[in-house]
Chain A
């Protein structure tokens, strides 16, 4: 008889566990037009799950492990809402006291306390759970929490973000095929790029690699934000073709994201860059402008070079001298695009990040120190784009009419190089 009762009780506990999981599935997949409808639905389902939990007889919730499981499920159900609930925290706290090895309870408790705004206590929960046993979900949550700590201001945000990356990588070692863990690492590397001054493109490349690995997981196909974030990084790196593909993928996975707008803006930009090169690089005009560059002497240790001599990437100890032919207006705030010709009359596109729009004018002489060069050459939907491009990330890289740019000509946008690397 007691055995049969035990089976029924185990079934009830299992049913309650399933109800709690279904509740969280609802939370993660139900997105009605009216957010209040979602809250209402969650409340209804949570009430049903709690009722189910209450059917478990008291005698079968007496043992510490049984009680812990009960308290955990109660807390988990109550914590499904986006706002902080003290009652949820109380039950989850009881659960971990009764059974400190209940990792899922520590995870839920950490998330609950996080919602309250107590990031350090939340971190303690995740760390304590990991001390019991490694867990990829908790490692990812800890990694994300550390990024929040870095963003809200601490003594050493760069060091905390490195911890975030370390925990993200640790999650991946537990399951190398888990797309969510790779996505988390991608976000960690991207955050590190911004926190450390937005100059180290290697961090962006690491981020891209992680996102690309995340995309291999079928489960991530339903995450349009992954594709959008990846496309945004590609856009910043001026990998135009990859950016277009990424935005298009994001748009197809979630038309509500309006990512098609990003595709249109980029195509429009590329068309403008191409057209500018065709229309404004007429031989006579360029020849007369370029002739004035021949006499420009560099009063520095850089060797003057024409764009045709540059290699892909950063060209150290080299400077390109050019004349600004045209400021190319486009729909985004950053970067600024100019059509420039060098002393060999070769026209190229110059993209400048972090500069005020009125700093460089048509007709100005520019000296670009250690230019970062790329050759754009790809086709998109039947249109071919081909042009040479130099990008500038730091104010110190530009001499305008022979003079350095003043600090006040820098502009702070979210994506900009805040300081030159040592």
Chain B
């Protein structure tokens, strides 16, 4: 009986402790919100950083790394999609646009690899150049389809998403540069 009453005495205490979130996670989440509040696509930024930063206590630099790595994985997924589309389309002009897009995303990936390397050495302007260059490369993909209104929708949402992620990444790097100045 005594052990039972002790259990019931301690139960609220145990529950309240379990309800308090891990202080490290809360801090990380606070930082993500603070960083993302400066971006133009706040919700996208939070979703991107949160999904990769879980169970850790990230700093701004690791959030910047996550944003660039996310760009790389997004570009890789789109490259795979383009390869599949090339396999199924018989229209030569669409094939040409898709081939150009494939090259555009390959260029973007090269730039982003350089951007990650620049992050290691804290070369903030080089990171920005790399991300902007990747964004420009993908814009060429969009431009290729823009003269064909029947197929302008192809890759449109992927290209726009990539562009938004680039803009967010640059904003995060800008805040990183500001925090170390």
Q: Is the CB of A187 within 8 A of B150?
A: yes
B148 at interface by CB-CB < 8 Å? yes
A262 within 8 A of B: yes
15 sampled A-B residue pairs with Cβ under 8 A? A116-B90, A147-B150, A151-B91, A152-B91, A187-B149, A191-B147, A191-B149, A257-B156, A257-B157, A258-B163, A259-B160, A333-B143, A414-B146, A414-B147, A415-B143
Residues of A within 8 A of B144 (CB): 414
Q: Considering the complex, give the chain A residue whose CB is closest to the CB of B100.
A: A414
Interface membership of A148, Cβ < 8 A: yes
Q: Which of B14-22, B48-56, B117-125, B132-140 contacts A (4 or more CB under 8 A)?
A: B132-140
What is the 8 Å Cβ interface bit string for chain A, positions 238-261, against chain B (1 contact, 0 not)?
Answer: 000000000000000010111111
Q: Counting CB contacts under 8 A, is B167 at the interface?
A: yes
Report Cα–Cα, A186/B164, bound state, in Å: 28
Query: In the bound complex, do residue B40 and residue A264 qualify as a contact, i.e. CB atoms below 8 Å apart?
Result: yes
Chain A residues positioned under 8 Å from B167 (CB to CB): 261, 264, 331
Q: Which residues of B contact A173 (CB under 8 A)?
A: none
Q: Which of A228, A258, A262, A415 contacts B153 (CB 8 A)?
A: A228
Min CB–CB distance B162 → chain A (angstroms): 9
> How big is chain A's contact interface, by range?
35 or more
> Quick one: which of A337-382 are within 8 Å of B by CB?
none
Chain B facing A: main interface SS: helix
| Shortest Cβ distance from residue A114 to the other chain B in the assembled complex, whole angstroms | 9
Give how many B residues have a beta carbon under 8 Å from the other chain's beta carbons.
28
Give the residues in chain B near A334, CB-CB below 8 Å: 143
With both beta carbons as reference points, the residue of chain B lying nearest to A262 in the complex is identified as: B160
Chain A residues with CB under 8 Å of B140's CB are 333
Spell out A's residues near B (CB within 8 Å): 82-84, 115-117, 144, 147-148, 151-153, 186-187, 190-191, 194, 198, 225, 228-229, 232, 254, 256-262, 264-265, 331-334, 413-415
Q: Check A258 against B152 for contact (C-beta < 8 Å).
A: no
Interface flags for B57-93 (1: CB within 8 Å of A; 0: not) read: 0000000000000000000000000000000101111
Chain A neighbourhood of B40, CB < 8 A: 264
Point out the residues of chain A lying under 8 angstroms from B38, CB to CB.
none
Chain B residues in the interface with A (C-beta under 8 A): 40-41, 88, 90-93, 135-136, 139-140, 143-150, 152-153, 156-157, 160-161, 163-164, 167
Partner of A333, one of B90, B136, B164: B136
**Could you tell me the distance between the alpha carbons of A117 and B95 in the complex, rounded to whole angstroms?**
12
B90 touches A117 (CB 8 A): yes
- Is there contact, CB below 8 Å, between A260 and B147? no
Chain A residues positioned under 8 Å from B41 (CB to CB): 260-261, 264
Closest CB-CB distance, A352 to chain B, in whole Å?
16
Q: Which of B152, B160, B163 contacts A229 (CB 8 A)?
A: B152
Q: Could you say which of B91, B150, B157, B161 has the most chain A C-beta atoms within 10 Å of its C-beta?
A: B150
| Bound Cα distance from A262 to B93, whole angstroms | 26
**Complex contact B164–A261 (CB within 8 A):** yes
Instruction: Please name 13 further chain A to chain B contacts, defined as beta carbons within 8 Å, in addition to the given A191-B150, A331-B167, A414-B146, sorted by A numbering.
Output: A82-B88, A148-B93, A152-B92, A187-B149, A198-B147, A225-B153, A257-B157, A258-B161, A259-B160, A261-B161, A261-B163, A331-B163, A333-B136
> Given A116-B90, A264-B40: A332 and B149 within 8 A (CB)?
no
| Chain A hits for B152, CB < 8 A | 225, 228-229, 232
Which A residue sits closest to B95, measured CB to CB?
A: A152
